Amino acid sequence: MREKITKETPCFTMGVAARMVGLHAQTLRYYERAGLVQPTRTSGNKRLYSKRDIERLIKIRRLTQEMGMSLTGAEAMLRMAGKLAQMEERMGALLQELQGGSGTPEIIDVTPVGKATRQRNESRKARAASNA
């Protein structure tokens, strides 16, 4: 049975990755030293890039070459985009929890109104359970 290739599967050599992204291999080495990308290493110490690495390199190239951003700025932008994606994923999970009726998500408890709502809902559930 063949292993399924995902976005995280390291399968592109440095030369192939450089051509795919439109950058010189030396630039990829520099980005690695700067901590912008961390390709996997083979037992022979060759770099292998995943599809996710390629996507990240393309974003870095666009930010730096097409938009004139510094590498530091590009790194900050990518870090913020990653945090935003995590927050959106968390919000989606919280919305599903709310819509599924599986209780009040903990994020609502951060406000006095949220705490009061949770306490009111718990009181109603307790009364309903005692009346059943």
Q: What residue ranges do the domains of the chain occupy? A: 1-100, 102-132
pLDDT band at 55 (very low <50, low <70, confident <90, very high): very high
Nearest to 48 by CA among 78, 11, 23, 93: 11
Residue 38 is predicted with a pLDDT of: 95
Nearest to 6 by CA among 42, 51, 47: 51
Mean pLDDT taken over the chain: 86
- Of residues 96 and 46, more confidently modeled: 46
**pLDDT for 107 beyond 60:** no
Classify domain 1-100 at the CATH topology level: Multidrug-efflux Transporter Regulator; Chain: A; Domain 2 (1.10.1660)
Distance CA 35, CA 22 (A): 19
Q: How far is CA 89 from CA 56, 59, 69, in A?
A: 19, 21, 27
User: What's the pTM?
Assistant: 0.66
Distance CA 6, CA 78 (A): 21
Residue 18 is predicted with a pLDDT of: 97
pLDDT band at 16 (very low <50, low <70, confident <90, very high): very high
